[in-house]
A and B are shown apart, each in its own frame.
Chain A
Amino acid sequence: MKKKCQHIGKLSLSMALASRSKSSCRLAALQTTIKSSNEIAEKMTTVIEHFRQAGVNAQSHVSHRLTDNEIYLKNVFDNCSDIVIREIKITNNPQYSAILAYIDGMVSQDLIEESVIKKLTAKSVDDAYRPNSESYIQYLLGIRPEDIHEDLSKVVESILNSKIILLVDGVNKGLTIDFKNPPARNVEQPEAELSLRGPKEGFTESIRTNTCLLRKKIKNINLKMESHTLGKQTKTTIVVCYLSGIANDKIVNEVRIRLHNIKIDSVLGSNYIGEYIQDSSFFIFPTIFHTEKPDVLASKILEGHVAIMVDGTPDVLTVPCLFVEFMKTLDDYYLKFIPATINRWVRYLSFLLSVTLPGFYVALVTFHQELIPDALITTIIKSRAEVPFPLMWECLIMLFTYEVLREAGIRMPRVIGPAVSIAGALVIGQAGVEAGLGSTLTVVVIGFTAIASLTIPSPEMAVSQILPRFFLLLLSGTLGMLGLAGGTMILFINMISARSFGVPYMSPLAPLAVNELSDVVIRAPLWTMIKRSKLITWKQSQRRRPKLP
């Protein structure tokens, strides 16, 4: 009881020592007051938001009075410290005031001083236009009519798109000036697509640079660039490029429809768009081609493909896309045709081997020992003698280890690079085999598979091989050669029945189109490739005149 009294005593020096219940009643009352005042505060903030929104919505048009516009902008960009609102006087006349609004860092400062402020604050040469009229400024600075907005939401949008807004007292329109200079990367060689010979330019994150790089390659009025905006929060610009007259109208229309149907919050990379417009998400191989090089994109557009550029990423999509395109590189056309053909065959063979070799090896050694050639049988027995795992599990473990190494290698900072590669090679390769955890022959087979998978030029295709490889390995490890054959059949059925924007995925191999095979099986000399591939354009079109004998 004494303790409890002391407890109450600490409540307040002025309060009587008695009645614990009274103080607890008062505590409860205090708590309810706090709670209700919290609720009231929340309601107040929502009401204030409401008023602010109403205030924002109420003023949807640019008003004549400059102060209204200024207050509106300040309200909208509340708590944005990177917006700059500057007031200038046109022709240095205190009657004509104007404000410039832009986001700091997005525009070129020197140009603002030189081309805008100097011009505007200079004395007018003659009095053809009244200095604070819209026409004066429009023709002084050369502003396009579509860059003059009456709508305040469009004004805000322009500011967010790194343009400068000029609001003049007495003019109920906002004028946009484009001196964009956002921080951007230089044009350099993309890391994922290295080219031996040939141009080494790569796209950057700014969409205007990308469209320029493309225009430099194709100087043709038929190269159309349609602009769309996607993404509720990010409002990213998307540009669809194609050569009208060569690209099939149906495909272009289909692209427009599919882009129109996208309802997405944010577009941060081109695959965000790719996932929405591709034919099937569950197909293992990619049906949309990605590239970071302008020359590759130009060659695709000239074949009749449609390109989709996304602002903020150097990765450009191309549709429609066939399987054989992943086996070609533009480097083939920069070399002579016989070495280029041999390179192509090496790639086809490595693709096949990389997917089927582990399965074939396991099926041969565990089910069909009678097929092993005599020269190899002693080697295989000796290498498998002390390994504790069955062969299929050994291959699975080694493949998994390779995948771990590959993922680790992507993220490895260059400083610890050598250490990790030594650890990988020594630990897994040497020490693992010495300890008897794996056999040397399996290391050779899996290592060769890994290297073969790297010959594919496109990274999307290289990583899509992993699933078929594991699938075939599991099937051949449990069912032998029949499992391998069945698994390959399943893979083929899957590949043949896929389509990319209406074009069968495996053409010209299946359905067979013999005329098109000249660029698939071999790389035919350029002067023989007279007709454009009908698969993409769906009509006859000629690339070049036949070479005269």
Chain B
Amino acid sequence: MKKIIIFLMIIIMMLLTVGCTSKKEIEKLAIIVSFGVDRTSDGKYMVSTQILKGQKSSSGGMGGGKNEKQPTDVMSLISTGDTVPDALEHLSTKLGKKIILSHVKFIVIGEDTAKSGVGDLVNFVAREHELRPNIIFLIAKGKASEILKTITPEATVPTNTIVAILNLQSEYGYTPVVTSLDFSTALASKTASPLAGVIALHQDEQAGTLFKLLGTAVFNKDKLIGYMDEQETRGMQWITGKVTTGNIVIPSPDTGNITLDIIQADSTIRPIIINNKPIIQITITEKGNIREMSGKLNIMKSPDIITALEEIQNEAIKREIEKALYAAQQTFKADIFDFGGTIHRDYPADWKNFQGNWREMFPDLTVEITVNSSIPRIGTISKPLY
């Protein structure tokens, strides 16, 4: 008897707490996988979305050129409104389904919108409970709606293509993968500068329209101030320790170039304070195998050759990092590496003195770079072939 009462109590408690109201049939939902934000001429927000389609994709047009319709699983819809969530609500006048944001993978922000300030958008993204904190911010060269309308030949859901590129680049380092959480943290901090990735369309003669991720967009607070190209971006990723695979090309002591394949890379940032001035010491440890070598250099002759090559590798990495530091300190005068944060964590008492005029101190900051690289393997042949 007691058991039956307990069972009834459990069921009634569940009914009273949750109820059955949050039941949504999946075919009545519009699942948005990515959206883009632009501004119209009269100051309203124009939101372009990619929504997963419920119909089976049309089976025509498989082998055609770039002018024929590609089979796709998404549809693009655009709507306008006073704010970004308002624009999303207005989608319901065109689409008879309830909008669900839980599956959004990234947000594309148009260039003009970024220049005029993304504060409101970031506020919305951080506050909305359905948007995950790991969605990625991208700045479009041009208008965001152009990017979101494009259907590429590679996959039926273009969002997945972009996500795949981003996943790969998180290891290669040619573009930063900035999540909503990273952006919001940088925005909220008093000294750091937010970043975002950049996406553009690329016309390929054979394959048609493809997406290309290039470099970094640098912000001052919430306004876009400039771009860094791929080399500078990689230098920045060396500092933050995000580079784990890729190639380095170094000039060979003999003739030609040597390509090295990065296996492992690690970076340590250590601030020290000397005479009330902060100095940042960056130590990079890296291991790279020889992938391609031109010329007649025979490595097996003596171990000094490898040591010499390692020195050249150190120089190459150091140069990339210096490029990034120059861009950050001189061109943009923005602390994109969050050196301020590292000093704050290690020397909280001294940071109080620097905090106020960090913007002026940052361009003159001394950064010492030490690179320790090694070449563990040289591939499957040792002597050059001819």
A and B: interacting chains: yes
Contact A391 B157 (CB under 8 A): no
B6's nearest neighbour on chain A, judged by CB, is: A493
Cβ of B300 within 8 Å of any chain A Cβ, yes or no, is no
Contact B23 A367 (CB under 8 A): yes
Q: Which one of B17, B27, B100, B157 contacts A378 once the chains associate, using CB atoms below 8 Å?
A: B157
Cβ of B52 within 8 Å of any chain A Cβ, yes or no, is yes
Cβ of A229 within 8 Å of any chain B Cβ, yes or no, is no
Binds A, one of B7-15, B180-188, B212-220, B253-261: B7-15
Contact B14 A369 (CB under 8 A): no
Interface positions, chain B 1-32, Cβ under 8 Å from A, are 3, 6-7, 10-11, 13-15, 17-20, 22-27, 29, 31
Cβ of A454 within 8 Å of any chain B Cβ, yes or no, is no
Q: Which one of B14, B25, B160 contacts A486 once the chains associate, using CB atoms below 8 Å?
A: B14
Contact B23 A480 (CB under 8 A): yes
Contact B24 A497 (CB under 8 A): no
Separation of A480 and B53 alpha carbons in the complex (Å): 25
Separation of A486 and B15 alpha carbons in the complex (Å): 10
B54's nearest neighbour on chain A, judged by CB, is: A385
Separation of A499 and B7 alpha carbons in the complex (Å): 18
Separation of A472 and B11 alpha carbons in the complex (Å): 12
Closest-CB distance, B206 to chain A (whole angstroms)? 27
Q: Which one of A374, A390, A479, A497 contacts B25 once the chains associate, using CB atoms below 8 Å?
A: A390
Cβ of B352 within 8 Å of any chain A Cβ, yes or no, is no
A483's nearest neighbour on chain B, judged by CB, is: B14
Interface string of A96-128 (1 = CB under 8 A from B): 000000000000000000000000000000000
Contact A374 B103 (CB under 8 A): yes
Residues of A with C-beta under 8 A to B11: 475, 486, 490
A365's nearest neighbour on chain B, judged by CB, is: B26
Contact A369 B15 (CB under 8 A): no
Residues of A with C-beta under 8 A to B24: 366-367, 369
Contact A370 B22 (CB under 8 A): no
Residues of A with C-beta under 8 A to B10: 486, 489-490
Contact A378 B7 (CB under 8 A): no
Contact B20 A384 (CB under 8 A): no
Separation of A345 and B315 alpha carbons in the complex (Å): 57
Interface string of A487-523 (1 = CB under 8 A from B): 0011001100100000000000000000000000000
Interface positions, chain B 29-65, Cβ under 8 Å from A, are 29, 31, 52-56
Residues of B with C-beta under 8 A to A482: 14, 17-18
Contact A381 B25 (CB under 8 A): no
Interface string of A341-375 (1 = CB under 8 A from B): 00000000000000000000000011101100010
Contact A366 B25 (CB under 8 A): yes
Contact A497 B3 (CB under 8 A): yes
Closest-CB distance, A285 to chain B (whole angstroms)? 15
Interface size class on chain B is: 20 to 34
Residues of A with C-beta under 8 A to B320: none
Residues of B with C-beta under 8 A to A370: 100, 102-103, 130
Q: Which one of A367, A377, A385, A475 contacts B31 once the chains associate, using CB atoms below 8 Å?
A: A377
Contact A391 B25 (CB under 8 A): yes
From known contacts A369-B31, A482-B17, infer whether A381 and B103 are also in contact, taking CB-CB under 8 Å: no
Closest-CB distance, B23 to chain A (whole angstroms)? 5
From known contacts A374-B160, A384-B54, infer whether A369 and B29 are also in contact, taking CB-CB under 8 Å: yes
From known contacts A378-B73, A385-B54, A385-B55, infer whether A369 and B26 are also in contact, taking CB-CB under 8 Å: yes
Contact A493 B7 (CB under 8 A): yes
Interface string of B72-105 (1 = CB under 8 A from A): 0100000000000000000000000000101101
Q: Which one of A387, A390, A480 contacts B18 once the chains associate, using CB atoms below 8 Å?
A: A480
Separation of A360 and B157 alpha carbons in the complex (Å): 27
Q: Which one of A365, A377, A478, A486 contacts B20 once the chains associate, using CB atoms below 8 Å?
A: A478
Separation of A493 and B2 alpha carbons in the complex (Å): 11
Contact B27 A385 (CB under 8 A): yes
Contact A381 B130 (CB under 8 A): no
Q: Which one of B14, B19, B56, B130 contacts A385 once the chains associate, using CB atoms below 8 Å?
A: B56
Residues of A with C-beta under 8 A to B100: 369-370
Separation of A387 and B19 alpha carbons in the complex (Å): 25
A482's nearest neighbour on chain B, judged by CB, is: B18
Residues of B with C-beta under 8 A to A381: 26-27, 31, 52-54
Residues of A with C-beta under 8 A to B25: 366, 384, 390-391
Cβ of A66 within 8 Å of any chain B Cβ, yes or no, is no
Contact B52 A378 (CB under 8 A): yes
Residues of A with C-beta under 8 A to B102: 369-370
Closest-CB distance, B277 to chain A (whole angstroms)? 49
Interface positions, chain A 239-295, Cβ under 8 Å from B, are none
Cβ of A382 within 8 Å of any chain B Cβ, yes or no, is yes
Separation of A462 and B154 alpha carbons in the complex (Å): 48
Residues of B with C-beta under 8 A to A374: 103, 105, 160
Residues of B with C-beta under 8 A to A490: 7, 10-11
Contact B52 A479 (CB under 8 A): no
Residues of A with C-beta under 8 A to B6: 493
Interface string of A393-423 (1 = CB under 8 A from B): 0000000000000000000000000000000
From known contacts A489-B10, A493-B3, infer whether A380 and B26 are also in contact, taking CB-CB under 8 Å: yes
Residues of A with C-beta under 8 A to B18: 479-480, 482-483
Separation of A416 and B30 alpha carbons in the complex (Å): 48
Closest-CB distance, A281 to chain B (whole angstroms)? 15
Contact A377 B27 (CB under 8 A): no
Residues of A with C-beta under 8 A to B17: 482
Residues of B with C-beta under 8 A to A494: 3, 7
Interface positions, chain A 468-484, Cβ under 8 Å from B, are 475, 478-480, 482-483
Contact A479 B103 (CB under 8 A): no
Residues of B with C-beta under 8 A to A385: 27, 54-56
A490's nearest neighbour on chain B, judged by CB, is: B7
Residues of A with C-beta under 8 A to B22: 367, 480
B100's nearest neighbour on chain A, judged by CB, is: A369
Residues of A with C-beta under 8 A to B27: 381, 384-385, 387
Separation of A26 and B241 alpha carbons in the complex (Å): 123
Closest-CB distance, A488 to chain B (whole angstroms)? 10
- Which of B3, B19, B26 neighbours the largest number of chain A CB atoms within 10 Å of its CB? B26
Residues of B with C-beta under 8 A to A478: 20, 23
Separation of A152 and B130 alpha carbons in the complex (Å): 87
Interface pairs (28), CB distance under 8 Å: A366-B23, A366-B25, A367-B22, A369-B26, A369-B100, A370-B100, A370-B103, A370-B130, A374-B105, A377-B31, A377-B103, A378-B73, A381-B52, A381-B54, A382-B54, A385-B54, A385-B55, A390-B25, A391-B25, A478-B23, A479-B14, A479-B19, A480-B23, A483-B14, A483-B18, A486-B11, A489-B10, A490-B7
Closest 9 CB pairs of A and B: A370-B102, A385-B54, A486-B14, A478-B20, A384-B27, A482-B18, A381-B54, A490-B7, A486-B10
Instruction: A382-B55, A384-B27 are known; give 10 further A-B pairs, CB within 8 A.
Output: A369-B24, A370-B100, A384-B54, A387-B27, A390-B25, A478-B23, A480-B22, A483-B18, A490-B7, A493-B6
